[in-house]
Structures are given as structure tokens and as C-alpha cells.
Structure 1
Amino acid sequence: MLPRWIQFALATPVQFWVGRRFYVGGWKALRGGGANMDVLIALGTTMAYGLSAVVTLFGLLDQHVYFEASAVIITLVLMGKLLEARAKLGTSAAIEALIRLQPKTARVERDGVLVEVPVAGIQIGDIFVVRPGESIPVDGLVATGESGVDESMLTGESLPVDKHTGDKIFAGTLNQQGLLRCRAEGVGAATMLAGIIRLVREAQGTKAPIQRLADQVSGIFVPVVVAISALTFALWWGIGGELAPALVNAVAVLVIACPCALGLATPTAIMVGTGRGAQVGVLVKNAVALERAEKIRTLILDKTGTLTEGKPVVTDVLAAEGFSERELIMLAASLESGSAHPLAHAIVTHAQENNVQLTPIRDFRSVTGKGIQAVLDVPALGAEQQVALGAPAFLSESGAEVDTARIAPFVAQGKTVVGIAAGARIIGYLAIADKLRASSREAVGRLRGMGIDVVMLTGDNAATAKAIAGAAGVAEYRAQVLPGDKAAAVAEFKSAGQVVGMVGDGVNDAPALAAADVSFAIGAGSDVAIEAADIALMRSDLLSVVDAIRLSRATLSKIRQNLFFAFIYNVLGIPLAMAGMLNPVIAGAAMALSSVSVVSNSLLLRRWRRR
């Protein structure tokens, strides 16, 4: 054992220089009207150091000194802080990984020559080249070239996405195959990658409602611990009559208590959960939404673009006798070639995919909401004819005889039937449908398996709504619902006392998204919908909603585990310290490890996987 004066000399700088942060932190907390762990450490070690200093200075040889206890407690707590800080760095690993995705430089065309410039120097409109195996530096459009691009950092999907001229490309994604020549459209803070990083950082800085409990407990925790420590000191000194064990056990009570574990329980799990979500294409905008998503019991789905692809396609071509399907497509696409209507786009796209050449038209006339007419050459009739295209009712009004029995099966399937007539003669029908997404039925089944009631709202007619709902496995649906009525429907379900989620992708979904307890925007949707939503899903896939709710449940489970560990640690540790069963040094080590264990438990969320 070192002489007491040497112990005094060695312990003093540890107490007041190494341990200065505890005094500063404790004083700031007290000035702010609160108290924290720094107050407990400063008070406990000062008691041990102060008594030892008095004993040494006044030569009280019959009394013990506790210089080693105060110095070791400070050392162990700081080592715990170091381990905690290193562990907490892991909670922001997702952001760091996203930042590393963007390359430092890019090859940009300057006066016809490729020049390597810093990514920060790229301007909107610049032409840049991305070779196979390189990361795309900024958002843009493919000017020339074809390739497969790995967009897993955005969507969580491992399969590459084919890119052709005119397609969008995003900063941080990986060009895998061909050479791409692209035009910059979004640079700096305006890239999708920068937006994701910004959203994740903002979400990680928000508080979940469950954290209020921890905050309330922490607010009264330190004063209660100080009172318990004083009681411990009084009982041991009053009953035993000895100062040494009374001081040691009082210090142990102060040191074993760990309010910081309570403080870390929620934010560390939120940081890891939101970061992991960003890696799999689930962007959580705030911690409140992350907590509420776990409690969703009714999930309302928009039909178009959510359950379905959002892109109508021609599914059936029925040509009358004497006409070929190809000729029918040619006539329909020629009539619709100048229209921006979604059904017109489906017909023209179908013609392009089948390499059907269009024919000139004249005397074009449009009847709003019903159909169109024009004069064009009809090869099967060997002459020019006035051809009409539109809803069967429109053709009937024009004098054509519609075969309702022939088109009834398509109407029953929820498809839109377009008829084509040459003069008063029906020459064929096209059936057009917005196809159900391949994963929608599976997603609905999994949501129902999670105890969530699924409801579909759509502005379409009852037949289409029934067909899509049946195909997707949705038991409850409402048809012909206007955008304003969608918000009212959300409010109706909320009035029943349920936590209601809403999934949409269009501008007309924004009011309903805003009205829901938790709102999800499908990745292919509009900027307005994504802005209004609490959780943005980068994949155009309803299974992303399942992922988001599962991630919410996993994160809240971790928070509850952390809070349990923190509470049970203090509930067990403080009585043991009061009973004299914990040395202050061991108590300090246990306190440090409690914080590290909470952070480490949160880090296990990084193992969370999509199913």
C-alpha cells in the first residue's frame, strides 16, 4: 500500500482534472434546475476523496482512506463513456454508409473533352459519363447508353434496374454494365441521396412519445438517489456507529445509480431503427410515426398506384370478323396518338410494343368524357371511313350496335372496355386494366396476419373496385370515393378509437394522408404525397408497408427491452448497495457497463432483415 500522502498526490489530479467533466456537467445540470449522472459521480467521488483528504491532512491514522476508490470510479466511468461513445458511433453507421455512396469526383464533358472534376463542381445541365463499376455522382437523366443500375441503396432491392435513354438515375447508385452518358438534373443538396440523409438525420433527432416516460423518471431519479444515499449513510452510521462503512455504502448507492441508461434506452434504438430503415428503402420522417406504426389496427389503401401498377395496359383485343387484331390496334392508336389521357397512352404504348405503324387521320373531333372521332383509311374496308372510339354507351349514341354480352366478362373483371366503330358498324373492342401489383395479394395477406384490417378506397366504379379488391384479398372496400371523402373515411375509422394508417401515391391522396395517424407514400408517387406522408417508401411495392410496420415493432421492442434493463438494473443495484453488498469500485464498473449494454442492445437492430 502506498503512503497516504503519495495516494493523495496521485488522486488529486484524477479527481479534479480528469474528473473535471463531472463537476462541470453536474453544475450545468443544477443551474438548469435538474440533476444528472454527473451530479451523482461528482458527489460520490468527492465524498470519498474529501474524507480521505481530511484523514490524510489531519493525520487520523485510525481512519481508512478511499483515494483509490474515487480515482478508480472516475477512471471506470470514463472508460465506460468511451465504450458507450464507440458503440453510439455504430448507431449512425447507416448515415455514414449513405454518405460514402457518393463518389468524390466525376468525369464531365467540357468543350467536348472529358474532365475529372469534384462532384461539388457539377452543375445542372452538365453532361457526365459513368463507366461500368462506378457510382453515379448526381441525379440526372440518361442522355445516351444502356445499363443495369444497382439501386439497392434507395429501394433495398438487390436486382439491378435497366436504364435506357430518358430514364432517371440517382446519386450513389452503382452502374453495373454499360457506359452511360447522362445529364445532371439534381446536384448538391437537391439529390435524392442528400434528401435521404437529411430525412434520416432529422428523424434521429426527434423524440418518440415513449421517451417521455424515461424523461419523467430521469427528472426525479437523481434527487431520489441522493436521498437514498443520505438515508443509507444515516442508517449505517446510526446503527453501526462507524463512519467508514457508512461512507462506502452511501458512495456505492450514488455510483451504482445510472440515469443515463434510461436516457439512452429510446434515442439509440430510434437512431439504429431509422438508419436501418433507410438502408432498406423505408424513410421514417419522425420518431412519433415510428412508434405509432406499431399500433396500426386499420390500414387504408388507395387503389391506383398502391394496390395496382398505376399504369393502364391493354389486356385484351377483340376484333370483329374480317378485321385483324393488328389492324384494330392500328386504328385505335392512330386515333389516340395526340391524346394525353392514360387510356390513350395505354393504347399507343401497346401499338409501339407490337411495332404497329400508325396511319394519318383528319377531321378529328373529341367529345369530352365520351370518346373521339376522325376520318382515316380502314384497310379491311378498302376506303376511308369515319371511325369512332370510346365507351360503349358513346358508340350506341352514335348509332352503332354494341354487343353487351361479349364485353360483359371484361366489365365484371373491372376492366375498362373501349369500342371502335367504322360508321355504324362495331369493328372491335379493347379491354384496358390497371394491373394488380405482383406482390399486392401477398402484402395484404401478411398485413391481415399481423392483425391489421385492410380497407381499399377508390374513385373507380363498383365493378372495378370489387374486381381489384377480390384479386388482392381485401375484404372491405369503398368505390367512387372522391379525394375529400377519403379524408372523411380516415376520420370515420379514427373515430372508432383505432390507430389508422393510410397508404397512397397521388396528389389526390394528400388530404387522406394528412388525416391518418400514420401515413405512407409509395415511392413512385407524387412529391406532394411523399411530402404529406410520415413514412416514405422508396420501393413501389406494398410489401414495403409490411417492412415499415415490422421495423416499427422491432424498434419498439428494443426500446422496451432497454427500458426494462435500465429499470431492473437500478431496482436491483440500489438495494444491494444500501445493504453493503457492493464495493463502490464494482458499482462504478457496473454503472458504466449498464449504459454500454443498452447501446449494444440497440445496435442489434442492425441485424433486422426484410422478409
Structure 2
Amino acid sequence: MTTSTIAGTGTHRYQLHIDGMTCSACSTRLERMLSAASGIATAAVNLATERATIDIDDGTSLDSVVQVVGRAGFDARKETRAYRISGAADEAAAGMIREALEGTPGVVTATVDGDRAQIEVERYALAVSDEILEERAREAGCVLSSSDADPVEDRRDFRQYLAISAAILLSAPFVVQMAAHQVLTTGWAMHALVEALLATPLQFVIGARFYRGALNALRGGGANMEVLVVTGTTAAYFFSWYQYATLGDAASGQLYFEASAIIITLVLVGKQLESRARRGAAQAIRELLALRPRTALVEAEDGTVHERPLREVRVGDSLVCRTGMQVPADGIVTGGVAEVDESLVTGESMPVSRGKGDPVIAGSLNIDGLLTIEARATGADSTLARMIRLVENAQAGKPAVQRLADRVCGIFVPVVVAIAAVAFLGWLAAGAGVEVAIINAVSVLVIACPCALGLATPTAIMTGSGAATRAGILIKDVEALEQAHGLTHMVLDKTGTLTSGTPRLGTVRLLAEDLDENTALAIMASLQQGSEHPLAEAFRVAAEERRLPLQAVHDFSSRVALGVEGIVDGTLYLAGNRRLFDTLAFAAPDPVDTGDDGGVWLGARREDGDVWLARFVVDDAERPGAGEAVDALKRLGITPFLASGDTTAATRRIAAATGIDEFRSRVRPEDKVALIDELMEDGRKVGMVGDGINDAPALARATVGMAMGSGTDVAMETAAITLMRPDPRLVAAAIDISRRTWRKIRQNLFWAFIYNVIGLPLAALGHLSPSLAALAMALSSVSVVGNSLILRGWRPQLEDIRHDHS
């Protein structure tokens, strides 16, 4: 995500990648300082994604935001990328493009290399996109395009691995010494100066990052994990020097250089493992970003095909997609047939056939065939771009339980320092020596870490929402995820949700003796030639399938909500519901088979009087898996409720077919809202699933609204969860992943709290050495993130859905 203007607010939204945050105390402090800064409307900081999302007022510069980040003790990450330039033929032109780019919010420097026809841009990561830079370059009269060469690499990971390798090498002799003490009866110890020689670079060179982090935190008015690590290891390190200074060579075996060295090494290793695990949790966004093609093949009016950057594709362009290429934009197929893999967009595991008139989604892969596509949505308006925004939004939010954890982390470090002080004084008061008191206090400082508390919720949300996205379930925000796990009732729209929304001809009941079924159908289909009603298509398709000839219709008339009438072969025919015939004073006596309130009636007005001809039942085909979806909802402990604007007969049929006990028919949009209000009495949480414009009010009113991906844009914009393919089984799957995610959050928070509740007393009472305390601290964060990563293996398997996931 990059800069964007928030309509109607006079603010601009930016994202920054923040370096230096190690625990929830860090992210809480930064969020507090950003929110309090002048010119910043809102700020949200996510520890797991290492992102800050800031809304700034007009007139406030991004540089001032970066300064606040610096005052809080952190860095806004920078990245450098090289671009090809054309149009900068002289120094003046080069100066113009340099000034244009350096004047773009988020750009730090721009350096033009005229000999290589490229420009190197240093910018704040996430703050400004390639598209914005290319637009600024065009305004300066130049063309900017991404270089074929890789961007200038960030060597951060390499330096981290180098530091860890050096730390392991320097601390390895201490590990050997500790093992020797356990195995050899005579013991073995390095000379004190050798220990100091190994521990000093670990403490002050490799461990310098901890000192910087602690100092920055204290300058920012807070305390974090680094404060605890620095206090503990510094105490152990200098106490070892004190022991050697007072005892000389007799201090061997009473030094704690090994404690400070091993603590720093274990914390470094733990942080690296945690970082790798967090990147795994964010895999969903990277997979979506990888789907975006950089170029598109655009067909000109003369039939020639040219390759263009994707940003230059416009709605209405004719695009060519060959075998092995990704569909560049949302559109409609205008020519060709191909097998398309939409798995990473919709979650559909099997390739789907796409031909003329079919929709295709940007990012899907053409497996076999050639397609010509008319672009309907490009760039930020495409389905893929909206998916990326929704996933980022869901992963950036904070549920109430995380805000509670943040408040705990805000006071965590001072409380731990106080406990360490009490432990130190307590051991002295109990008659123990200074050595015992210091080491136990160090153990308290080292074992306590707020990182696990800070990562418990965001890593679970990142992984859960990412797994949902891969299955074709888009969660708009964290509130939707938070509410979905507690749903008790689910209102399902019929048409387009449990049914395909495509009417088809069912049974035909003849009411005249001199008429056969095909003749009746031919008359009905002929009448419907001029109708745009959805049911008309069912008759036309049925007649076409039976190869029945249609006749010309004269004096055709359509009556809204009633039916149609027209003259076929000299006879006036009427087709519609019973109200049509009542309105036109149809004089024929009621037929013996009046049926129920469903069906479409066909009658004729002949010279010898009015006569009933036939009654047609039009079905809406049940979607595959509709019954399984309802059964899965019941197993989740959710009561399904069917609501439809269709007739009682049609609604009852689908309810019976899918196993829904309660239903309401002939409901209007306001009736669906009233139904949800009724069901929400006594504090019940009610979900709503729909796909049409008329479902939007109910989707907005429900605790959680879900829109079928085949539905209207209005429904999908209103809903909190979008199901990317028209499969009703995804409704239960969405609730299942939300419950599993919330279960992981509770597990993570429980273990994070229990770890500290048990670990702190053990350390204070002298039952844990500093090295073991450091190991436990490192493993606490890794275990929390690892537990969350289990969700990556989730797949929407309905047979595995049970109520015990709540």
C-alpha cells in the first residue's frame, strides 16, 4: 500500500516500514507519539507487519512524520531502486526529473546517471509506489520505467546473519565450558581474561543494537525488551570484572561473562527465528503481489499487438492473453477459449473454462488457449488490487483483546524492573551474597519479555486472514474477523446465494385438452421474446433446447410485476401471475389444479371466451454444495434462516432441499432488515449472506455481512466478508477460519501470560540461571509465532468443521 487520498476528509494516508521495534511496548509507544503529533489525524502501528499507517492533514509533510518516528527511537526503512529513463537528453532535463522526483512525498534522493540512462531513487519503503514516480516523471517530460536489473539490495539480512554467526562462534567456548562442568569431575574453565576477550565484542559490538534500542526507548519516554536485556547483560558483564578485580585468578568459576554472552546470542537467534516466522505469516500478501503482471499485450484497431506497461492499460482496451500469461486486467472475454487457473484469486482449485462473454479476473493464469479480453477494471480498481487492500486492512487492525495486551505491555517493563529490584534486595536480606542476588535479578530481567504478548494477536490475524484469502474468503477488517467467530444465526438470501440465480423451466401442467406441452411452451416462449424479465429467459432457453419454432408477436405489452400479453397467430394470449388475470378480469372459471402461489400461468382470450391453457413452474437451480453448507452451519452451532423475495412455494422448496427449518418468503429489503433486528434481540449475533443490491441494507445491518463474489459491487462494498466464488460452502468456511483464528489468539495470549506468571517467580527464587532464562525468553516469542503459523495449513474442509472450534 502506498499514499492515497481519503475522500472527503482532507487527509492523505501513508504507510511506513518501521525498523527497530522489538516488542509491543515499542509499537504502543510509537503509536502514542504519532497520534499526539501535530498534523497527524490517526496512526496505527502493527508490530507483526512492522508497519505504521498514518493519516496526515493537508499541509503536513511526510518528513515531519519521519522525524516523529526518529524521536520515538525508530527508523523509517529506506530502499533504493534503479529505473531506466528516456527523454532526459541533457543536464537541464536530468535536473527537471531529479527535482520532480525529489519533490514527491516519500522520496529521499534521486540521482541521475546520464551515461547509463538511469536514475537511482532512494525512498521510504511502502510510502510511494512506482506508479506515482512514473507519473511525476511524465509531468517532467520524461519516461520512467523499472530497470531490468534488480533493485539495489538491502543488506540488512546479510548483516543479521553475519552478526548471529559471529555471536555463535564467540559464545561456543562458553557452551563447551558449561558442558565440561557438567561432565568432567575435575571441571575445566577458561582464564578470566580469555572469557573477557570473548564476551566484550559480543557485549559491545554485536550487542550494540540492544544499547541503541534501549537508549532510543528511554529517550522516547518508554522502556522495551532491549532495556531488560541491556540491564541484565551489563550487570552480569561488569559484575564479572568486579569479581576478577577483587579475587584475581581465584575468581575462576565465579565469573558470569558466559551469562551475558549466551544471553545476547540466544536473543539474537530468537529474534531471527521470530522474524522468519513473521514473514511466513505475511505470505498471503506477497502471493497476491506476485500475481500482478508488469505489462499487457494491447491490440490496436488495425489488429497489431503491442506490449505496454500495465499502468497504461485503460478501460475498454482490447487485451491479448496467451498461454502461460497472467490476465492483466478484469474484463470480459471477446474472443477465444482457454482454461484459466483462478486458484490464487478465488480459491477454486480446478481450472475453469473461459470463453466469449465470460468474465476473467486480473492475476489469473491462462493455462491453455488464447483469449482476447475487453478491459473492464484496471489498476487500483481491479479485483486483485481490492483484494490486496482488504488483506492489508484486515492484517493492520487491532481487536479489543490486542489493545488490552498493548496496555499490559505499556507497564510491563517497569513492573519487571521492580520485581528484579525486589529479588535483588530480598536475596541480600536473606543473607545471600551479592553474587547470588545479582544473578537472580539478571535472570528476572532476561526471562521477562513483552514480545510474546505483543505478537500473540497480530501474527494469528495475519496468518488466519492469509489462509482465508487463499481459500477465496476476503475479510475486510479485523472487526469482521472478531465478530464472525461469535455468530449464532445466519440469514441466507435464496436467489444467487443458495441457488444459481438462473431460472430454468421445471414442470408444465396442461389445463386445456386440445393442447400439448410443446405447443404451450412455444406460445409462452414466443410471448416472452420481447420481455426482459429474468423468467423470460427460462422459457426461451427451454424452447431452444427443444428446437421449437417461435412465432411473431403483435401488440405486445408488458405489465410490471404482473406479466405480459400479446397476439400470436391471431389469438390474444396472457402470461403471468394470477394477479395479471384478476387485473384483466379473466373470465374463465378457476382450473381444477389451482396449484399454489407459484408458477406462471398461460391463458387465451378466444372468440368463444377466456380459457386456461397451462401452468408453468420455473425453478431456480440449487447451487452445488448448498445442502452441505447448511449442514456445516448447523454443526458450527449456527441456526440458518432462509429469507427470499420469491414465492412461498419456491422458498419452501429450497428450504426443504437444503435442510433449513425456518424461512420467510416475499420479503422486501426492509423486511430483511427487520428480520435481522428481530433475530438480534437478546444479544444474539446474526450474519447475513446475499449477493444483490437489495441485500445491501441487510448486509450492513447484520453483525457480519457476507457477499457472494458473483454478486453486485454494492453488495460486496457493504459486506464485511466477500466470498470470491459463488460457493455457499464458503460461508461455513469463513466462520470456521475466524473461530480457529480466535482460538489461536486465546492460546497465544494464555501461554504468553502463563510463561511470565511462572517464569518470573522461578527466576526470582533462583531456580533459573541467566542462560536458561534467556533461552526461555527467546523460545516464548518463537513458540507464539509458530503456533499461529499452524493456521497456514488450514483448508476449507467441511467434514472437519465442528462446533468445538469456537
Which residue of 1 is the match for residue 290 of structure 2? 100
Which residue of 1 is the match for residue 451 of structure 2? 260
Unaligned runs of 5+ in 1: 378-383
Give the deviation of 1:389 after TM superposition. 1.8
Report if aligned partners of 2:192, 2:249 keep a CA contact under 8 Å in 1: no
Deviates more, 1:481-490 or 1:78-87: 481-490
Which residue of 1 is the match for residue 84 of structure 2? none
Q: The residue matched to 2:502 in structure 1 has which SS?
A: coil
Give the deviation of 1:564 after TM superposition. 2.3
Which residue of 2 is the match for residue 585 of structure 1? 771
Q: Which amino acid aligns with 1:455?
A: F
Give the deviation of 1:403 after TM superposition. 5.0
Residue 419 in 1 paired to residue 607 in 2?
Answer: no
Report if aligned partners of 1:55, 1:61 keep a CA contact under 8 Å in 2: no
Which residue of 1 is the match for residue 389 of structure 2? 198
TM-score (norm 2): 0.70
Q: Provide the C-alpha distance between the structure 1 equivalents of 2:748 and 2:523, rounded to a whole number of angstroms.
A: 67
Q: Provide the C-alpha distance between the structure 1 equivalents of 2:690 and 2:656, rounded to a whole number of angstroms.
A: 19
Deviates more, 1:77-86 or 1:204-213: 204-213
Q: Provide the C-alpha distance between the structure 2 equivalents of 1:158 and 1:356, rounded to a whole number of angstroms.
A: 39
Q: Provide the C-alpha distance between the structure 2 equivalents of 1:38 and 1:348, rounded to a whole number of angstroms.
A: 74
**Residue by residue, what CA displacement relative to the aligned partner does 1:326-378 show, whole Å, maximum 9, x if unpaired?**
3333322232222222222332333344444433222223333323222222x
Report if aligned partners of 2:599, 2:615 keep a CA contact under 8 Å in 1: no
Unaligned runs of 5+ in 2: 1-188, 798-806
**Residue by residue, what CA displacement relative to the aligned partner does 1:538-597 show, whole Å, maximum 9, x if unpaired?**
121221111011111111121122122222222222222122222212211221121111
Which residue of 2 is the match for residue 71 of structure 1? 261
CA distance 1:436–1:407, change in 2 (3 Å): farther
Which residue of 1 is the match for residue 185 of structure 2? none
Give the deviation of 1:57 after TM superposition. 7.0
- Bigger relative contact order, structure 1 or 2, given CA contacts below 8 A and separation 6+? 1
Deviates more, 1:265-274 or 1:584-593: 584-593
Which of 222, 237, 240 is the aligned partner of 1:49? 237
Which residue of 2 is the match for residue 598 of structure 1? 784
Q: The residue matched to 1:405 in structure 2 has which SS?
A: coil
Give the deviation of 1:521 after TM superposition. 1.2
Which of 215, 234, 241 is the aligned partner of 2:425? 234
Deviates more, 1:31-40 or 1:564-573: 31-40
Which residue of 2 is the match for residue 332 of structure 1? 524
Q: Provide the C-alpha distance between the structure 1 equivalents of 2:591 and 2:290, rounded to a whole number of angstroms.
A: 61
CA distance 1:103–1:604, change in 2 (3 Å): same
Which of 578, 588, 591 is the aligned partner of 1:401? 588
Which residue of 2 is the match for residue 85 of structure 1? 275
Q: Which amino acid aligns with 2:444?
A: V
Which of 4, 17, 22 is the aligned partner of 2:210? 22
Q: Provide the C-alpha distance between the structure 2 equivalents of 1:280 and 1:597, rounded to a whole number of angstroms.
A: 26
Give the deviation of 1:398 after TM superposition. 4.4
Q: Provide the C-alpha distance between the structure 2 equivalents of 1:523 and 1:20, rounded to a whole number of angstroms.
A: 52
Deviates more, 1:186-195 or 1:462-471: 462-471
Q: The residue matched to 1:496 in structure 2 has which SS?
A: helix
Give the deviation of 1:182 after TM superposition. 1.4
Report if aligned partners of 2:619, 2:650 keep a CA contact under 8 Å in 1: no
Give the deviation of 1:30 after TM superposition. 4.0
Which of 108, 112, 125 is the aligned partner of 2:316? 125
CA distance 1:385–1:266, change in 2 (3 Å): same
Which residue of 1 is the match for residue 677 of structure 2? 491
Report if aligned partners of 1:509, 1:529 keep a CA contact under 8 Å in 2: yes
Q: Which amino acid aligns with 2:283?
A: A
Q: Provide the C-alpha distance between the structure 1 equivalents of 2:354 and 2:208, rounded to a whole number of angstroms.
A: 59
Q: Which amino acid aligns with 1:166?
A: G
Q: The residue matched to 2:566 in structure 1 has which SS?
A: strand
Report if aligned partners of 1:203, 1:287 keep a CA contact under 8 Å in 2: yes
**Residue by residue, what CA displacement relative to the aligned partner does 1:486-534 show, whole Å, maximum 9, x if unpaired?**
2222222222111221112122222222222222112222211111111
Give the deviation of 1:32 after TM superposition. 4.8
Which residue of 2 is the match for residue 567 of structure 1? 753
Q: Provide the C-alpha distance between the structure 2 equivalents of 1:574 and 1:472, rounded to a whole number of angstroms.
A: 55
Which residue of 1 is the match for residue 734 of structure 2? 548
Q: Provide the C-alpha distance between the structure 2 equivalents of 1:114 and 1:577, rounded to a whole number of angstroms.
A: 71
Identical-residue share of aligned pairs (%) = 48
CA distance 1:437–1:461, change in 2 (3 Å): same
CA distance 1:184–1:369, change in 2 (3 Å): closer
Matches within 5 A, 1:408-447: 408=595, 411=596, 415-423=598-606, 424-447=610-633
Q: Which amino acid aligns with 2:532?
A: A
Which of 289, 294, 297 is the aligned partner of 2:480? 289
Q: Provide the C-alpha distance between the structure 1 equivalents of 2:306 and 2:579, rounded to a whole number of angstroms.
A: 62
Q: Provide the C-alpha distance between the structure 2 equivalents of 1:200 and 1:510, rounded to a whole number of angstroms.
A: 22
Report if aligned partners of 2:526, 2:551 keep a CA contact under 8 Å in 1: yes
Give the deviation of 1:160 after TM superposition. 2.8
Which residue of 2 is the match for residue 390 of structure 1? 576
Which residue of 2 is the match for residue 161 of structure 1? 352
Report if aligned partners of 1:390, 1:420 keep a CA contact under 8 Å in 2: no
Q: Provide the C-alpha distance between the structure 1 equivalents of 2:684 and 2:579, rounded to a whole number of angstroms.
A: 43
Give the deviation of 1:192 after TM superposition. 1.0
Matches within 5 A, 1:168-317: 168-317=359-508
Q: The residue matched to 1:434 in structure 2 has which SS?
A: strand
Q: Which amino acid aligns with 1:49?
A: Y
Report if aligned partners of 2:575, 2:600 keep a CA contact under 8 Å in 1: no
Q: Which amino acid aligns with 1:483?
A: P
Which residue of 2 is the match for residue 374 of structure 1? 566
Q: The residue matched to 1:427 in structure 2 has which SS?
A: strand
**Residue by residue, what CA displacement relative to the aligned partner does 1:246-268 show, whole Å, maximum 9, x if unpaired?**
11111011101121011111110
CA distance 1:343–1:231, change in 2 (3 Å): same
Q: Which amino acid aligns with 1:575?
A: P
Which residue of 1 is the match for residue 155 of structure 2? none
Deviates more, 1:84-93 or 1:296-305: 296-305
Q: Which amino acid aligns with 1:389?
A: A
Which residue of 2 is the match for residue 37 of structure 1? 225
Which residue of 1 is the match for residue 534 of structure 2? 342
Q: Which amino acid aligns with 1:178?
A: G
TM-score (norm 1): 0.91
Residue 482 in 1 paired to residue 482 in 2?
Answer: no
Report if aligned partners of 2:530, 2:556 keep a CA contact under 8 Å in 1: no
Q: Which amino acid aligns with 2:421?
A: A
Aligned positions, number: 601
Report if aligned partners of 1:151, 1:161 keep a CA contact under 8 Å in 2: yes
Residue 557 in 1 paired to residue 743 in 2?
Answer: yes
